[in-house]
Amino acid sequence: MGNCFTNYNSTFSGNVRINGDWGDGDIRNTGTAPAYIDRTAFASPAAFTFGDTPPTGALGLRQPRMVNQDAGVRRDFQIRENLRLGFQCDAFNIFNHVRFGGINTNITNANFGKVTSQVNTPRVIQFALRIEF
């Protein structure tokens, strides 16, 4: 059926979000990845219908936040009147924060409520040397 809106479970009480924050970041094994949404808070809609949850912000739930800082430094050295040397260093995702993929919201999937992917790259540093004459 694909990713479809689910129904609210009217008999559910308690916190929909489980396991506190986004966990330890171990998303390598989807079978043991922790769930962050309680499956019992939702119910599968009838066949060929959409559920009654909104497309965004159901029960105040949000996807994991994104944090990513980049930095760059450049220095030029004048060697002679007509010769200049430039050195540059760029760092992407300088603090090496993980950006998790979205939470699986397909109620019929075994990974419902789990984060099973990472959508950014680890820290990348590049150097550049430039000679102008």
Per-residue pLDDT tens for 107-126? 777 778 787 788 888 899 99
- Domain extents for the chain? 1-50+70-133
- Count how many residues are written for the chain: 133
How does pLDDT run across 35-87, given as a tens digit for each residue? 777 788 888 887 787 777 776 666 777 776 777 899 999 999 999 999 999 99
pLDDT of residue 31 exceeding 70? no
Distance CA 52, CA 42 (A): 10
Q: Are 45 and 2 in contact (CB under 8 A)?
A: no
**3-class state of residue 41 by DSSP:** helix
* Residue 6 in tokens: 């689910």
Report how far Cα 48 is from the mean position of its chain's Cα atoms: 30
Q: Give the global pTM.
A: 0.58
